A and B are shown apart, each in its own frame.
Chain A
Amino acid sequence: MKPARFDYIRAGAIAEAHAALAKDGDEARIIAGGQSLVPMLSMRMARPAVLIDIMHLPELAKIEVKGNSIRVGAGVRQAELLAWPELAERQPLLAAALPWVGHAQTRSRGTVCGSAAHADPSAEIPLALLALKGSVELSSQLERRRVAAEDFFTGLLSTARNDNELIEAIDIPCRAAGHGYAFREFARRHGDFAIVACAAIARVDGARLAIGGVADVPTARDFLDLDSGVLNDALDEFAVELEPRDDLHATADYRRALVRRLGRATIEEARRCRV
């Protein structure tokens, strides 16, 4: 369990990271907290020729409120965001979801943007980003662009990021008046990847539910009619459309059942939390 040979570049400036990405393209990988990448390197499931370390760039290590959203830079560790005093007030869903990310130890190394970049279908940060209709800021030597979360997660461990691009930040909308937020998850153990994770946002005229851990990408659905019977049927339909699969930890049936039951409970909780 030793990585294959790679070169290591500690970027001293964003431009340096951009240059390295431009030069090495798909042979290069950004390393931030390394909580997913390092095990993949050790198991040789990832074997980049170059690792570009972006954890020594102060300009990326910022949490900022810009207009009506929170901008979390690529150098911000999950533990830092969780400890940010304004988090629960600015975005309660994110505050509720973050404690489910791994363990205290992994959160103290892992970054918020790194989790988005890794795009594990059962990870909480991509799920929250999608539920809240956040976006990802990408930059390269050539351009800077913003991709909506729903367009960013394109498949299992794959995203809309181009090989020459750096994720500089993610932007997460702040809480909206009259909205309620809830997050629930079931995993076999505390800190495991979710078997089913649910993020719900309740509005006056309906609710949005995003599900992680079931399909290849986190998936959101808006429900306009929250009448119990109608919602149950809609959730049943949603659960089937997610096309859950059997794996070692759970059956497809079980995942469908949890989408229905946990999904409904999460929506109900979000509705109770509306202010």
Chain B
Amino acid sequence: MTGVATSWCGQSIERVEDGPLLTGRGRFIDDLGIRPGTLHAAILRSPHAHAKIRTIDAAAARRAPGVAAVIIGAEVTAISASLVVGVKAPIECWPIAVGRVRYVGEPVAVVLAADRYLAEDALELINVDYQALPVIVDLLAALDPKQPALHEGLGSNIASERSFRYGDPEQAFARAAHRVSVTIRYPRNSCTPIETYGLVAEYDANEDAYDVLANFMGPFSLHAVMARALKVPGNRLRLRTPPDSGGSFGVKQGVFPYIVLMGVAARIAGRPVKWIEDRIEHLAASVSATNRLTTLEAAVEADGRVRALAWNQLEDVGAHIRAPEPATLYRMHGNLTGAYDIRHVSVRNRVVLTNKTPTGLNRGFGGPQMYYALERLMQRIAVELKLDPVDVIRKNLVPSKAFPYRTATGATLDSGDYAKALETALAQGGFAELRERQQAARAQGRIYGIGLTAAVEPSVSNMGYITTVLTPEERRRAGPKNGAQATATVSLDPLGGVSVHAASVPQGQGHRTVLAQIVADALGLKPSDIRVVGEFDTAKDAWSIASGNYSSRFAAAVGGAAHLAAERVKVKLARVAASQLNVAAQDIEFTGGRAHARGNPDNAIPFSRLAAASHWSPGLVAEENQALRETVFWTPPELTPPTEKDEINSSLCHGFIFDFCGVEVDRVTGAVRIDKYVTMHDCGRVLHPGMVAGQITGGFAQALGAALYEEYAYAPDGAFLSGTFADYLLPTTTEVPTPLILHLETPSPYTPLGAKGVGEGNCMSTPVCLANAVADALGLSAVDLPMTPAKLAAHIHVSEDSTRRT
């Protein structure tokens, strides 16, 4: 900053997004007009978890009122290609069933009709002759070689298997005083955005080009997947996003197969096609987070110091390996030691296929599954070795002076002071009082427990981490993949106004407000002087494969790119100003809407006049100094590809979280009441405290859902049991207490503004923190999510009833 020490960043200014959203004037995909003649799609979905499709009789549906076309798998395969699959295996992944259904909810046919009602009427007229096949629901069954392969090209249901070794884990285990292990079954769940998928697809036969408006959220690496599936070059798939998108939390990545499917449908019908996913479709068949079976063992010294970890992870990606899977398993690969200084690690990773909905991005993306195992393990170490759980965490934290710290598995922890954050949280959060509260409750016969979690929150994913699933040899053949290109454009208009665009595809977070703060700071303007455009168009805007809104990359990467673009504009404007004000360019300052000479504020020119100069009198300004529009592509050099030893810096930034909580379990009902929840975050420099609090609170609420309420449940025959919001329970305002949020700020040295991501951390830390508290309360060694009252009451009632009977 130059001049007066006013920084818009760091202030919780009012969000420009809120006015329209709070008054019902948001422009979501289903609010936007469509071209006359647009058809409405409805999808017939499989009622079977696994079946051969013998025949599809759509004759009656095709004759039904208002129906323009009925499209089945064979027509889709005729003019498109399989979606690229992320592992080296001869398997295909189509956006519609081809000859076989592999999960309940898989698309089988698409009806295009004059309106959605007529389309749904026609769905009922389609007759599909299914031949049921054996079903694999449980991920252990997928390991059974006697079970038939869901994808014949694979030969089994294990899609990928890799083992890794870092340091000398065998020796560490051999020498360890203790071995402590946990086995975790992490369930399926999802963050269920309030707005479901939606798109309008159009095909231009003259140019062989697709134009799709969809509430897709990125990553735009999937644009390449879609274009290849549609068999067009990238420049013939124009993908646009609407101005508003009603939440995503990763889930709207999963609209991409439908973009391909409806693109094909529009091409076949010769008319634009609109499809809005309904909630039933969304719950059954959008994307789920992965369920995972993890066995994690630690080599522990007598004092609780962990010397080595042995991970055995079995990941269930459902019926297809849909891009970018198996990324959920590898997103955390650099962070398998969490917040701890552990040098020896072994990993066995297996990815299996089952007859369940394919998985995809979901807030936390691999973190909830991983931390649930790691932090349950830390609690078990304390219990088994009779140590204070705080001490076990404290003793193992990465030391404060060790940053930047390279983890055993390859991540570079950029900055932090974990010990200080922990001690600050214990003091400010009232940990000592909480322990007294627990003692008092227990003295009254109440069931009360305390849980703790420490976690490193990765953000700004390395686009290359997924290639860790390949062997070094396979990677050499495929060529390097890495980086995290972020883009931002700052433009000046002929009245001197400043516009900003960034390919961040917001879904309600408030990106437009923060970008205005960042650019206003750089140019000495007010945020209200800056106009930020939220919608995005691959045909017009700057973008790259990492564009989009995921891995908490906005503040760190996109905000940073906007800052750099604004700085570039400023440098050029300073040169123009220098010529007008007769001072050197380096002596020009931008404050209060003016450019002026340092030390002589009267020698000034209004910003708007300066900014307009390159439009009105380009002759006055040297060509290289013309300030019109600057686009920055920024990628951090730290995000390198995996090494030959499979070390991977899977993310650029690493925030730190330390949570603790007190919970009470009701003796009659088994319900969990959260008495107190404290969450300490170090997410680097905070750009907008209100939004950071919003991210933390929102993540906490979703994590509480995962911990206590939510599960995508399947029957043994593969039937989907969580098909409505009466079955899949989201916590509402009456279920979510307000956590105490604390902060420590250690800026990231690797991002332009020092910011790190903060959006996903509580989805990683909170489920296990609550589980640790419940385990403490009930004295349980194993506790799986969701912790429903019925499950917990079984532990309480059994002991009480046995007492009563004697």
Contact = CB atoms under 8 A, between A and B. Distances in A.
Contacts of A248: 713, 721-722, 727
Interface stretch (B169-177, B436-444, B638-646, B788-796): B788-796
Interface in A15-47: 43-44
Given A254-B793, A262-B668, A189 B121 contact: no
Contacts of A44: 120
A39 B794 CA distance: 34
Chain B interface residue bracket vs A: 20 to 34
B743 interface: no
Contacts of B729: 188-189, 192, 249
A20 B797 CA distance: 53
B116 A2 contact: yes
Contacts of B616: none
A189 B789 contact: no
A160 B795 CA distance: 41
A62 to B, nearest CB: 32
Contact of A253 (B671, B722, B726, B794): B794
Nearest to A39: B724
Contact of A188 (B121, B709, B721): B709
B734 interface: yes
Interface in B465-507: none
Interface in B702-735: 709, 713, 721-722, 724, 726-727, 729, 731-732, 734-735
Contact of B790 (A4, A190, A254): A254
A265 B668 contact: yes
B797 A190 contact: no
A215 to B, nearest CB: 18
A1 interface: yes
A145 interface: no
Nearest to B708: A188
Nearest to B722: A248
Contacts of B117: 2-3, 5
A2 B281 CA distance: 12
Contact of A251 (B280, B732, B735, B790): B790
A4 B121 contact: yes
Contacts of B721: 248
B105 to A, nearest CB: 14
Interface SS of A by simple majority? loop
B669 A249 contact: no
Given A1-B278, A248-B722, A189 B732 contact: yes
Contacts of B724: 43
Contact of B726 (A190, A193, A261, A265): A193
Contacts of A190: 732, 734-735
B24 to A, nearest CB: 16
A2 B121 CA distance: 9
A248 B187 CA distance: 14
A250 B793 CA distance: 10
Contacts of A261: 668
Q: Which of B117, B278, B713, B789 has the most CB of A within 10 A?
A: B789
A191 B722 CA distance: 18
B279, B731, B734, B790: which has the most chain A beta carbons within 10 Å? B790
A186 interface: yes
B788 A249 contact: yes
Contacts of A249: 729, 788, 790
Contacts of A3: 117
A188 B789 contact: yes
Given A248-B722, A253-B794, A262-B669, A186 B789 contact: yes
A88 interface: no
Contacts of B726: 192-193
Contact of B789 (A1, A43, A193, A250): A250
A57 interface: no
A265 B794 CA distance: 19
B732 A186 contact: no
A262 B671 CA distance: 13
Nearest to B669: A186
Contact of A250 (B279, B734, B790, B801): B790
A121 to B, nearest CB: 14
Nearest to B715: A248
Interface string B312-328: 00000000000000000
Contacts of A5: 117, 121
Interface in A182-221: 186, 188-193, 195
Nearest to B730: A189
Interface string A243-260: 000001111011001100
A134 B203 CA distance: 63
Contacts of B280: 1, 43
B716 to A, nearest CB: 13
A257 B797 contact: yes
Nearest to B797: A257
Contacts of B278: 1
Interface string A166-186: 000000000000000000001
A104 B721 CA distance: 28
Interface string B777-806: 000000000001110011001000100000
A253 B732 CA distance: 27
A227 B611 CA distance: 88
B178 to A, nearest CB: 36
B671 to A, nearest CB: 7
Contacts of A191: 732, 734
Given A2-B117, A5-B121, A189-B729, A254 B794 contact: yes
B689 to A, nearest CB: 30
A32 to B, nearest CB: 20
B147 to A, nearest CB: 26
B493 to A, nearest CB: 45
Nearest to A265: B668
A110 to B, nearest CB: 15
B668 A258 contact: yes
Contacts of B789: 186, 188, 195, 250, 254
Interface string A1-12: 111110000000
Contacts of A4: 121
A240 B735 CA distance: 31
Contacts of A189: 709, 729, 731-732, 734-735
Contacts of A192: 726, 729
Nearest to B792: A254
A213 to B, nearest CB: 13
B791 to A, nearest CB: 9
B793 A2 contact: no
Contacts of A43: 280, 724
B22 to A, nearest CB: 17
A2 to B, nearest CB: 5
A186 B722 contact: no
A2 B111 CA distance: 14
Contacts of B734: 189-191
Contacts of A254: 670, 789-790, 793-794, 797
Contacts of B722: 248
Nearest to A250: B790
12 contacts: A2-B117, A5-B117, A43-B724, A189-B729, A189-B731, A189-B734, A191-B734, A192-B726, A193-B726, A253-B790, A254-B793, A258-B668
Given A195-B789, A250-B788, 5 more contacts: A2-B117, A189-B709, A189-B731, A190-B735, A249-B729
Interface of B: 116-117, 120-121, 278-280, 668-671, 709, 713, 721-722, 724, 726-727, 729, 731-732, 734-735, 788-790, 793-794, 797, 801
